[in-house]
Amino acid sequence: MIIKQSDLDCLLELTRQAHPEECCGLIVGDGETVERLMPSANITTGDKTRSFELDPKVRFELIRESGERALMGFYHSHPNGSPFPSETDKSMVYEPELLWVITTLDKIKAFRFCEVNQDFEEIPIQVKL
């Protein structure tokens, strides 16, 4: 995944702003390079400090603006946790081709779900200058 430094900074800022709750949103791009982030409200009816749910309106907006293929993945934060997918995250993989970006207050990691191993695999983040 290739991403601009300004988008990485933005992800950490969104994580801080939402703290202690989880933030979430869409990652828009061509499959490898991130073009932009689309923040979503966390609409989970559960505990927002431990879970998240994307607002489907944001996805409809993306489809209208850029088409479904521009959806590269999702991001969400683990405000007090580690930047690795939780068991809950694993149970929420419905679209294995999409990237999962997980942030903490000071770390960002990206993952892709491997269907063979039924587990997430970390993928490198390359900063675009």
Which residues contact Zn ion by CB under 5 A?
A: 86, 89
- The nearer residue to Zn ion, 69 or 94, going by C-beta atoms, is 94
Min CB(78)–Zn ion separation in Å: 5
Min CB(64)–Zn ion separation in Å: 27
User: Rg of the chain over CA atoms, in angstroms?
Assistant: 14
Burial of 53 (0-12, 13-18, 19+ CB in 10 A): middle
Min CB(120)–Zn ion separation in Å: 10
96: which DSSP letter? Answer: T
- The nearer residue to Zn ion, 107 or 128, going by C-beta atoms, is 107
Residues near 103 by beta carbon (within 8 Å), at least 6 away in sequence: 11, 12, 14, 15, 23, 75, 76, 77, 78, 83, 109
Closest residue to Zn ion in the complex (CB): 89
- The nearer residue to Zn ion, 8 or 103, going by C-beta atoms, is 103
Distance CA 73, CA 82 (A): 19
- The nearer residue to Zn ion, 35 or 53, going by C-beta atoms, is 53
Min CB(102)–Zn ion separation in Å: 6
